[in-house]
A and B are shown apart, each in its own frame.
Chain A
Amino acid sequence: MVTAPPDAAQSRKRFLTGLLFLAANLVVSVAAQFVLKAAMARLGKFGEGGDALAYLISMINPMVIGGLALYASGTVLWLLTLTKLELSFAYPVATVQYLLVFIGAWLIFDESISWLRVLGLAVITGGVLIISMDHWKK
């Protein structure tokens, strides 16, 4: 592939644009999870009393559809991120998503988060970082 001669100002702009996409991806993807969780909390737990089919039909509502649209936008923003940033950089940073979901689950949904769960999340993040070391090597 033919690449343009290195131009510091241009690559800086590219990097900052990529960061902006990545930040937007994080915010939108996490917001999608919160909207979907809130939407499902309003419907109650699936399979606990009531008609299953009626429940499934009630899932087609503006809040669920809005949450799914946010989720899809998050995917598009991720693809845009990858046009500007190296996967080896974007991939580990994207694990911030897990942390944001934890904080939101705690603050917004009053979930009781045990130490084992926090530790589990830390271990998972470590695993993702190990996987991305594979990219740093190259």
Chain B
Amino acid sequence: MISLVFLVTSIVLVAVSQLMLKQGVVVRERKGAAAGGMLKMLFEPWVFGGLALNGVAAGFWLIAISRLELSYAFPFLSLNYILIPLGASYFFKENISRYRMIGIGVICLGVIMIAFS
């Protein structure tokens, strides 16, 4: 059970970090698209925070796979196909198409099957 907590925490953190990176890009664009280039982009707080959170997520992932089989843990990464669109729709008002909704449902089913395997 505790292994699952590490695993799911890692995956949620990855999703949050992706949304933070997106927010960082949005903020930079608002400041003027080409302003500063790559290095300035890296030190945009949202981008920097997103990358840092990605590092934390990697730590949780490592602890999870120290306790779990790789063939069990790895398919859970597909939860990101669900979490990221949901977050993007909530925070950035991105559209979730019908195909995407059906795909999300199917992926959920697959992950549940893996969870009980």
Q: Which residues of A contact B (CB under 8 A)?
A: 33-34, 36-37, 39-41, 43-48, 56, 59, 64, 68, 71, 98, 101-102, 104-106, 109, 111, 113-114, 116-117, 119-134, 137
Contact = CB atoms under 8 A, between A and B. Distances in A.
Interface residues of B, number: 36
19 contacts: A37-B65, A46-B63, A46-B67, A56-B59, A101-B74, A104-B70, A105-B70, A105-B71, A114-B117, A116-B117, A117-B72, A117-B114, A121-B75, A124-B106, A127-B108, A128-B78, A130-B103, A131-B107, A133-B99
B105 to A, nearest CB: 8
Interface in B70-117: 70-72, 74-75, 78, 81, 97, 99-100, 102-114, 116-117
Interface string B37-73: 0000000000000000000001101110111011110
Nearest to A113: B71
B25 to A, nearest CB: 14
Contacts of A56: 59
Contact of B70 (A111, A114, A131, A132): A111
Given A114-B117, A119-B113, A124-B75, A130 B106 contact: yes
A61 B89 CA distance: 39
Contact of B66 (A34, A41, A98, A106): A41
A105 B114 CA distance: 15
B2 interface: yes
Nearest to B109: A123
Given A123-B110, A127-B81, A117 B117 contact: yes
Contacts of B117: 114, 116-117, 120
Given A46-B66, A105-B70, A121-B75, 10 more contacts: A44-B66, A56-B59, A114-B117, A117-B114, A120-B114, A124-B75, A127-B107, A127-B110, A129-B103, A132-B103
Contacts of B112: 120
Contact of A33 (B74, B100, B103): B74
Nearest to B69: A111
A137 B113 CA distance: 29
A124 B107 contact: yes
Contacts of B81: 127-128, 131
